[in-house]
Amino acid sequence: MRRVLVILIACYTSVAIMASDGISFFGSLQHDGLFAMTDEAIGTESYSFPYLSNTYLNLSLTSKWVNAGLRLETMQAPLPGFEAGFKGSGIGNLYVQGNWGWGKLTIGDVYSQFGSGLILRLYEERSMGIDNSLRGARLELTPYKGIHIEAIGGKQRVYWNCYDHTAWNLDFTKGAVVGADAEVDIDEWSERMQQAGVTLNIGASWVSKYQPQDTVFYSLTPPVMYNLPRWVGSADARFSIGYQGFKLLAEYAWKANDPSVDNLFSYKHGEALLLSASYSRRGMSLLLQAKRSQNMSFRSDRMSRGIAAHINHLPPFTQTHTYHLADLNAYATQLQGEWAFQGELWYTWKKRTAMGGRYGTTLRLQGAHIRGTTPQSWVSMTKEAYYTDVNLELQKRIAGKWYLNAMYMYQTFNAPVIEGSGELCRSHILVADVKYVTSDKVEMRAELQYLYSKQDEGQWIYALYELSLFNDLMLSVSDMYNIGGTDLSSKLHYYMAAVTYQKGAHRLMASFGRTRAGYNCTGGVCRYVPAQKGVNLSYNFNF
């Protein structure tokens, strides 16, 4: 704690001194808390602290040549549902970055992504408790126009392992991740291509992780242990080509033998192939994507489970839904292998046309279908689907001050595969979202959602009413009710009332109500959140 205070005072003093030299200082504070209450009906857990919270303070300064930043985090009594290692306090991120014309060198905690992230994606996602940065260095070079080269290396952050060793997690004999990436934008070398609206990009990456041998036994009699590789390498190649509104992307990633708890200590290599085609023009866009991944879990710690220690990220190919009931069963990328297909079509009919009406109409059709891979052949898939999602959404301004969003969605969710328990669930979901803008200062919005299913907990209904006043204040009340529960104990109301106030750089939200137990998913990564009841507080300040 004393170390933190010294750093803060040093930062403040430095800023005060350098403020006159064109140096910018900014930051943000985020605090999310919960006064947890017990509610046996929904199955809340008991906590040793009455108030649970996660707090982040970001401080950054930028100048012509040097940038620096740090992030202080405290979650001594974290919000429910985070993994055990998430609890702790200290400096979660610290870096210094030097810039010079064609290069940039960052020392400290670094983030990066190579291509689509199939072999490296280092990022922070606070809602999931993810921060898999490397503590080391990152070098970015642009030696010539259209050429981007990057090299990165360090020890991965796994929660608070930066405090595990006296060397502030710089002991690379305990493990390290290194990598390099090169991308070439060929169109930047050709004026003809640029004039024709053609883009052509090729890229290649390499990432390798080092981890000392672990003693892992295969059998006890006779005692046989695994010969685990200390270095595991991976490579990625990609190209994309675009012409006016069309774009094609292909990316292939390969990973060497990487026996771990994720793949039950298999020595098979991993691979992933991603294909994407899109077309967009004014008023329309089309996207088609396919992905096959097999044994592509890539962690800096072969013994890790859960959401920690991932080096790469496999995109889920499913849409993240913002409507409650549509997001009730969210998909988590299956690390052992999957075939995923996704398509999306947006079309906007102009105003004053037959389909567009007076104000125009936008229709969106989206679908996703995911199956597992099987060993029969490279193209074979499991008979059962893991996940299917087809939804049709209509966005329309139906009258002067009235706006409508309506959606129908059909979903199949293979819970035993995705969550490890439950049953195959088929649902039909209807959503009506109506907004009424009375004036510049007052807006009202109401949502009504209905989910029909014969499996799991049956039918659900959700209603929300939201009132925005003077651009600063928002009030909302909502309720989610399980009308299909087979016994009284499952017919529960999950009510919530919230007030949000925003003024300048400050945003304060307070709410009271119940939250159902379930999975919170972002980008194909999910964490289980237990049932909660209580008063939620959230404060954000940007300066």
Partner 1 sequence: MYRHYHYILPLLLSLVLLSCETIAPDQQLITLEPTILERCVLLTEFSGIGCVNCPTAQQLADDLADDCDGRLIVVQMHPAANSFTFSADPLYDYTTADADVYYSHFNGTATTPFPTGVVDFMKDGNAYFIDYTTWATAIHRRLNQEPTLSLDLTPSSEGDSYMLTAQAVNHATDALDFRLLYWLVEDSIEGRQLMPDGKVSTDYMHRHIFRGALNGQWGSQQSAFGKGSLTDIVDVSRYCYTGRHYSVVAVALSSDMSEVIAVAQTDLPKESQVQDEPFVLNVNGIGAIGNDTTIVVTAHHTDPITGKEEMEVRGSIIAEHIYVDTERSAADFDDQLCIGTCVNGNGETTQLFDFNVAGYSSWFAHYYPRDMQPAVITYRFYNNARSLSLTVKYQPED
Q: For binding to partner 1 (CB under 8 A), which residues are involved?
A: 43, 45, 81, 84-85, 143, 178, 180, 206, 208, 210, 214-233, 235, 256-257, 259, 261, 264-265, 267, 303, 305-306, 384, 414, 416-417, 420-424, 517, 527-528, 530
What minimum distance in Å lies between the beta carbon of 450 and partner 1?
Answer: 26
What minimum distance in Å lies between the beta carbon of 233 and partner 1?
Answer: 3
The closest alpha carbon to 70, from 24, 124, 113, 7, belongs to: 7
Query: Measured from the CB atom, is 315 or 534 closer to partner 1?
Result: 534
What minimum distance in Å lies between the beta carbon of 84 and partner 1?
Answer: 7
Query: Measured from the CB atom, is 195 or 215 closer to partner 1?
Result: 215
- For the record, the structure tokens of 306 come out as 């859960």
Output the CA–CA distances (angstroms, integers) from residue 418 to 341, 525, 526, in the order listed: 17, 11, 10
What minimum distance in Å lies between the beta carbon of 436 and partner 1?
Answer: 40
Output the CA–CA distances (angstroms, integers) from residue 471 to 221, 322, 395, 509, in the order listed: 71, 22, 23, 14
Query: Measured from the CB atom, is 498 or 517 closer to partner 1?
Result: 517
- Detail the DSSP E strand segments found in 101-220: 103-110, 112-113, 121-122, 124-125, 130-131, 134-144, 147-156, 176-185, 198-210, 217-219
Let me know: does 387 contact 369? Beta carbons within 8 Å.
Answer: yes
Query: Measured from the CB atom, is 91 or 180 closer to partner 1?
Result: 180
Listed in sequence order, the DSSP H helices in 290-438 are 415-418
Output the CA–CA distances (angstroms, integers) from residue 181 to 139, 210, 233, 463, in the order listed: 10, 18, 14, 48
Output the CA–CA distances (angstroms, integers) from residue 183 to 86, 142, 145, 151, in the order listed: 35, 10, 11, 12
Phi, psi angles (nearest 5°) of residue 162: -65, -20
How many CA within 13 A on the CB side of residue 40? 0
User: How many angstroms separate the CA atoms of 397 and 376, rounded?
Assistant: 51
Let me know: does 291 contact 323? Beta carbons within 8 Å.
Answer: no
Query: Measured from the CB atom, is 490 or 542 closer to partner 1?
Result: 490
User: How many angstroms separate the CA atoms of 543 and 529, rounded?
Assistant: 31
Query: Measured from the CB atom, is 26 or 528 closer to partner 1?
Result: 528
Let me know: does 81 contact 527? Beta carbons within 8 Å.
Answer: yes
Query: Measured from the CB atom, is 222 or 504 closer to partner 1?
Result: 222
What minimum distance in Å lies between the beta carbon of 36 and partner 1?
Answer: 14
Query: Measured from the CB atom, is 224 or 442 closer to partner 1?
Result: 224
Can you say whether the dihedral through the CA atoms of 150, 154, 156, 157 is positive or negative? negative
What minimum distance in Å lies between the beta carbon of 269 and partner 1?
Answer: 8
How far does the chain reach from its first CA to its final CA, in angstroms? 23
506, β-bridge pairs? 503, 541
Given the structure tokens 């429910």, which residue do they identify? 80
What minimum distance in Å lies between the beta carbon of 351 and partner 1?
Answer: 49
User: How many angstroms separate the CA atoms of 209 and 154, rounded?
Assistant: 10
What minimum distance in Å lies between the beta carbon of 414 and partner 1?
Answer: 6
Let me know: does 194 contact 186? Beta carbons within 8 Å.
Answer: no
What minimum distance in Å lies between the beta carbon of 423 and partner 1?
Answer: 8
Query: Measured from the CB atom, is 50 or 283 closer to partner 1?
Result: 50
What minimum distance in Å lies between the beta carbon of 141 and partner 1?
Answer: 8
Query: Measured from the CB atom, is 184 or 407 closer to partner 1?
Result: 184
User: How many angstroms separate the CA atoms of 378 and 359, rounded?
Assistant: 49
Query: Measured from the CB atom, is 22 or 143 closer to partner 1?
Result: 143
Query: Measured from the CB atom, is 197 or 416 closer to partner 1?
Result: 416
Query: Measured from the CB atom, is 281 or 305 closer to partner 1?
Result: 305
What minimum distance in Å lies between the beta carbon of 17 and partner 1?
Answer: 35
What minimum distance in Å lies between the beta carbon of 235 and partner 1?
Answer: 8
Let me know: does 45 contact 80? Beta carbons within 8 Å.
Answer: yes
The closest alpha carbon to 85, from 308, 313, 311, belongs to: 308
What minimum distance in Å lies between the beta carbon of 305 and partner 1?
Answer: 6
Instruction: Give the other-Cβ count within 10 Å of 488's Cβ.
Output: 8
* 401: Cβ contacts below 8 Å, ≥ 6 apart: 436, 437, 438
What minimum distance in Å lies between the beta carbon of 323 and partner 1?
Answer: 24
Query: Measured from the CB atom, is 37 or 430 closer to partner 1?
Result: 37
Amino acid at 209: K
